[in-house]
């Protein structure tokens, strides 16, 4: 499964406007922290309280390591081999073997930001003092992140239970100085060479440490965190796109009135309706057909019901954010070192809570994109676009205008509908039936990444189309906010004219949607949109 991008691999860090250090071990990691470290290479620091908690839990493990009674993860095998007692002389080899055998990923390379996100979240759990890892190992993991060394993780290998085993194992393998990585420049090399170049020493894992490094929901949670960050921008941009389409199609803003939205007190709907009102405020085009001479009774659903659909997607994001916040505050490992010093097995590594909301978000993403594509199609159809030329072409018949841009949007939407089928309902047993129900949360996360990229492209095509339609409404002028977005588009994309190479224009506007440049242009006029 590949994201709908020209290249699925980002091998070099992004440029951060301000990559301030992130202090870990003082509380849950925030979504903004995940983005800062994963996407912009913000450095991480370990707090003093976390150092004390890690050292205390390690003392518990050291005591149990000398016990003649077996303790899972410390002196036994793993999974279906949990009944195998391991002699003290073999326990270091046990930890190395665990990581090597579980680093069994296959397929295309996973994006740099995803790997860095899962590493940050695993480190955050290590610093809770509930995993029994040594402080020196946690510090080495932080050093790996801060050096910009990114283990090469493969697409397939995680079932989302026990956590994201294979992806996390590839990262633990790099900590051991084994496997393949990319350095801070994006150059592929062996982990041993990368560590040496950064002045770092490979870690020889002790009891419990291999398990502590690989048993968590960090891969799916990292991708959920990045998705939630991106969706805040994309859903506000969806309102921007809808407002431009309403204006371009000579629609009405009356249906977005606050009192009408208040009759159905859905929080997301109210926010979306407010955005649309602000985007269309002061629009000469809307004012031009507001009088009794306008015979249109009501607009099509893709215009009139935009707040209902975009709002429902917002409410879904809010629910997913609630679940993500709880998971970011969690200590996921098996077994765990409890606050009172017990070492207990548990099932907290099961990814169901995260998997469900990842699937839920994929449904919302597909539906918002589907509505956007319908508005694009309406602007191109002379039977429905209120007097604009067919496909917004310069010379209809000779020119095709934006005809095939709609095909592109439709193709993406069709793919997003397929990707909206839940992954979390498809359990498959593993580990000789010991792990007989799994979450498939990693797969749900991979689907959502593709969906978010596709939504940005579909919104970009709508904004590209609406921009041309607004130009063709001259001498009528768009409103201040929609006009600001039109001006932003025209910085990179020329206005109406004979047919030209269209793909770079689609890519340019989609990039502006993803980066937030389109939203920023609107907000320069409206203030912050919700």
Q: What is the 3-state secondary structure (H, E, C) of 17-51?
A: CCCCCEEECCCCCCHHHHHHHHHHCCCEEECHHHH
d(CA 55, CA 357): 35
Q: What is the pLDDT of residues 391-403, one digit of tens each?
A: 999 999 999 999 9
- Residue 156 is a catalytic residue: no
* Least confidently predicted of 4-13, 22-31, 100-109, 162-171: 4-13
DSSP 146: H
- Residues with Cβ within 8 Å of 391's Cβ and at least 6 positions away in sequence, in order, are 380, 399, 400, 401, 402, 403
* pLDDT for the residue 251: 96
The answer, yes or no, to whether the previous bond of 85 is cis (omega within 30 of 0) is no
- Bridge partners (DSSP) listed for residue 46: 24
Q: What is the pLDDT of residues 228-239, one digit of tens each?
A: 999 999 999 999
Listed in order, strand segments (DSSP E) in 269-333 are: none
pLDDT at 443 over 70: yes
Q: Say if pTM beats, i.e. exceeds, 0.85.
A: yes
The dihedrals phi and psi of 344, each to the nearest 5 degrees, come to -130, 140
Q: What is the pLDDT of residues 190-232, one digit of tens each?
A: 999 999 999 999 999 999 999 999 999 999 999 999 999 999 9
pLDDT at 439 over 90: no
CB 234 within 8 Å of CB 456: yes
* pLDDT for the residue 209: 95
Listed in order, strand segments (DSSP E) in 183-307 are: 188-190
Annotated catalytic residue: which of 72, 141, 356, 530?
72
d(CA 503, CA 46): 46
CB 367 within 8 Å of CB 313: yes
pLDDT at 5 over 50: no
* pLDDT class of 1 with cuts at 50, 70, 90: very low
* pLDDT for the residue 466: 98
The correct answer on CATH 2.40.50.140 for the domain covering 223-330+360-526 is no
Tokens of residue 105, six digits: 């990923």
* pLDDT for the residue 290: 82
* pLDDT for the residue 10: 62
Q: What is the pLDDT of residues 361-397, one digit of tens each?
A: 999 999 999 999 999 999 999 999 999 999 999 999 9
* pLDDT class of 7 with cuts at 50, 70, 90: very low
pLDDT at 6 over 60: no
pLDDT at 4 over 60: no
Q: Would you kindly state where each structural domain of the chain is located, as residue ranges? A: 22-216, 223-330+360-526
Q: What is the pLDDT of residues 452-477, one digit of tens each?
A: 999 999 999 999 999 999 999 999 99
d(CA 385, CA 249): 6
Average pLDDT score over residue span 124-137:
96
Topology of 22-216 in CATH?
A: Fumarase C; Chain B, domain 1 (1.10.275)
* pLDDT class of 185 with cuts at 50, 70, 90: very high
Average pLDDT score over residue span 308-327:
98
More confident residue, 88 or 518: 518
């Amino acid at each position: 499964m590949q994201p709908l991008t020209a290249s699925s691999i980002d091998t070099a860090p992004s440029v951060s406007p301000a990559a301030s250090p992130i202090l870990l071990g003082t509380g849950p990691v925030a979504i903004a922290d995940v983005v800062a470290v994963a996407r912009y290479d913000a450095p991480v620091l370990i707090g003093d309280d976390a150092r004390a908690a890690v050292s205390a839990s390690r003392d518990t493990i050291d005591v149990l390591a000398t016990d003649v009674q077996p303790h899972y993860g410390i002196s036994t095998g793993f999974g279906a081999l949990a009944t195998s007692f391991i002699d003290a002389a073999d326990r270091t080899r046990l930890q190395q073997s665990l990581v090597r055998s579980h680093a069994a990923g296959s397929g295309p390379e996973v994006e740099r930001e995803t790997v860095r996100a899962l590493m940050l979240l695993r480190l955050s759990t290590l610093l809770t003092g509930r995993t029994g890892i040594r402080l020196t190992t946690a510090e080495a993991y932080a050093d790996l992140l801060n050096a910009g060394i990114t283990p090469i993780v493969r697409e397939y290998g995680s079932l989302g239970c026990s956590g994201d085993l294979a992806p996390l194992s590839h990262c633990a393998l790099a900590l051991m100085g084994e496997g393949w990585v990319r350095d801070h420049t994006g150059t592929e090399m062996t982990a041993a060479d990368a560590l040496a170049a950064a002045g770092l020493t490979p870690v020889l894992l002790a009891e419990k440490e291999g398990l502590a490094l690989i048993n968590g929901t960090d891969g799916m949670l990292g991708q959920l965190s990045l998705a939630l960050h991106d969706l805040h921008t994309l859903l506000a941009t969806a309102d921007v796109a809808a407002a431009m389409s309403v204006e371009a199609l000579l629609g009405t803003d009356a249906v977005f009135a606050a009192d009408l939205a208040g009759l159905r007190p859905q929080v997301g709907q109210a926010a979306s309706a407010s955005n649309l009102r602000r985007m269309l405020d002061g629009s000469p085009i809307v004012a031009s057909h507001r009088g009794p001479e306008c015979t249109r009774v009501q607009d099509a659903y893709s215009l009139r019901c935009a707040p209902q659909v975009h709002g429902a997607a917002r409410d879904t994001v809010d629910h997913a954010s609630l679940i993500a916040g709880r998971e970011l505050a969690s200590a996921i490992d098996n077994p765990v070192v409890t606050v009172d010093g017990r070492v207990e097995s548990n099932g907290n590594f099961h990814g169901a809570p995260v998997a469900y909301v990842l699937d839920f978000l994929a449904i919302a993403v597909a539906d918002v994109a589907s509505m956007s594509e319908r508005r694009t199609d309406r602007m191109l159809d002379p039977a429905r676009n209120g007097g604009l030329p067919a496909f917004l072409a310069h010379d209809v018949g000779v020119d095709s205008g934006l005809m095939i841009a709609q095909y592109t949007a439709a193709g993406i939407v069709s793919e997003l509908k397929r990707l909206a089928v839940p992954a979390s309902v498809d359990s498959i047993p593993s580990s000789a039936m010991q792990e007989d129900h799994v979450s498939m949360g990693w797969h749900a996360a991979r689907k959502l990444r593709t969906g978010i990229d596709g939504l940005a492209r579909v919104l970009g095509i709508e904004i590209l189309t609406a921009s041309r339609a607004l130009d063709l409404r001259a001498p009528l002028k768009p409103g201040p906010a929609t006009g600001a977005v039109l001006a932003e588009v025209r910085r990179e994309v020329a206005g109406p004219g004979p047919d030209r190479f269209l793909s770079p224009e689609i890519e340019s506007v989609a990039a502006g949607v993803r980066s937030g440049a389109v939203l920023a242009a609107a907000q320069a006029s409206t203030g912050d949109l919700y």
